[in-house]
Amino acid sequence: MNTLKLDEIWKSVKGELEVVSNPSHFKAHIPGTFIKNIDENSKLIEISTSSEFQRNFIEDRMYGHLTEITRKIVGSEYRLMFSVTKKEPSQISQSDLGPLFQKETSEELSLKTLAKNAGLNEQFTFNRFIVGNNNRLAYAVSTAIADAPGKVYNPFFLYSGVGLGKTHLIQAIGHEILKRHPEKKVLYKTGEQFLNEVVEAVQRGKSSRSITPSALKGRYRNVDVLIIDDIHSIAGKSSTQEEFFHTFNVLHMAQKQIILTSDKAPNEIKLLEERLSSRFASGMIADIQVPDIETRIAILREKNKELGLNAPSDVLEFIATSVDTNIRELEAKLLQTVTKARSEGKDLNKDLANSIMNQIDQSRQSRITPNTIIKEVGKYYGVTMKEIKGQRRVKTLVLPRQVCMYLLRNTVEMGYQSIGEVLGGRDHSTILHGVDKLDNILKTNTKFLKEIEQIKNNVMAA
């Protein structure tokens, strides 16, 4: 395989890896890497790094993502091997060094430092956000907050399904606030990070490295703008909800800006305390819907231009018509389709795009396991896999179990007996009743149908 094709494949791999990996890990350890060789006989892909440290880090922390992405893009199950290729100083290009070493003004460097300290991804800015009918209100609110943080729309609660741009938009608010008000302290965290830090604080006596309760309060309450992504992660965790309740009150009383996201509206988050739900709903609530066809085309055109993919317009329109789930899936299909066509030496057209996308969908479908479905259903309803498979007959578990039965039957086409075995040894008649009940509800309840579609999207994205 010639060098040009290797470069194109690696460019597509990096494009997808940037979406799914830790932003700081990607920026620190991926610049300077490249595919050195693809051995089609031994099914081996050799990825070159510039140092032992870089190689070890990527192998330890990013191997899983890289394996999955390369298999999707190359279209076969290749093994990955990492090597070190050290370059002479004269051979090192600007792109090898990554963004931290590019020539920038002192103001740009200062803003980048502020954004990095705030936990923001430098790619998630307003000028990279495509505005359409699906997100116009959310965008308008976001820009108003950036103009006057803490003065209007406080708190701001943004919700949407997976991969629709809510993380991009809330981080764009953070970037813009730092640009206009560099004296303000912005902090971005995920709900899971907040949860983990509370747990660490509770267990502070077990490790000298653990964060103390006072340090935790200082970190989250001495800010001007607090952005918590996926706040639903704290639902059902009493100590974490207690801590966030007091943090919210302190910041709100001081007119500090609070920005939160979730996969559903505040009153729909299972196991979230009412006192938190009411506070989340006390400000501005906006949602982001699935983008319409015009917005999807605009997104693909921007990605096509940004990455220099040169995909024809009719192919972009075909992909935009075929993928109506989320933006992440939309961009991934574009990258996979272009790379697959190039690796096979074919000119990309609508028919070839259709064929490639069908192959990708079939491959992905074959990788969905029953436990993947059960895990995503549990995450959506705030219960564990163990509880779903267990024998407790409580109201909070009835619906998640029936949703699992329905999805296992209709997504991976399992038999009733097999579903019963996966769900803790339940009998055939119980599974049949659960599936039939969900079928009947979905015929009349459009809101519940959207829930099921969202869970399916989560399963596909897992």
Per-residue pLDDT reduced to its tens digit, 25-62:
787 788 889 988 888 877 888 899 888 778 878 887 78
Is residue 22 pLDDT above 80, yes or no? no
Q: What is the mean pLDDT of residues 259-283?
A: 94
Do 370-461 and 106-288 fall under one CATH topology? Answer: no
**pTM of the entire predicted model:** 0.67
Instruction: Name the 3-class secondary structure at 182.
Output: coil
Tokens of 146: 């950036």
The pLDDT value recorded for residue 107 is 66
Beta-sheet strands, E only, within 110-241: 156-160, 186-190, 225-229
The residue to which tokens 């690796």 are assigned: 343
Topology annotation, domain 106-288: Rossmann fold (3.40.50)
The pLDDT value recorded for residue 186 is 96
Tokens of 359: 């192959």
Tokens of 52: 């032992």
State the Cα–Cα distance between residues 355 and 317, nearest whole angstrom: 15
For helices 446-461 and 327-343, angle between their N-to-C axes, nearest 10 degrees:
40
How open is the CA angle 190-184-282, to the nearest 5 degrees? 55
Domain spans in the chain, listed from the N-terminal domain onward: 3-98, 106-288, 293-347, 370-461
Topology annotation, domain 3-98: GMP Synthetase; Chain A, domain 3 (3.30.300)
Sequential DSSP letters for 369-399: -HHHHHHHHHHHHT--HHHHHS----HHHHH
| Helix or strand (DSSP H, E) at 83 | strand 79-84
Q: Which CATH architecture has domain 370-461?
A: Orthogonal Bundle (1.10)
DSSP 3-state percent helix, strand, coil across the chain (nearest 5)? 60, 10, 30
How does pLDDT run across 110-141, given as a tens digit for each residue?
888 899 899 999 889 999 999 999 999 999 99
* Distances from the Cα of 214 to the Cα of 207, 248, 257, 352, angstroms: 16, 16, 21, 59
The pLDDT value recorded for residue 148 is 93
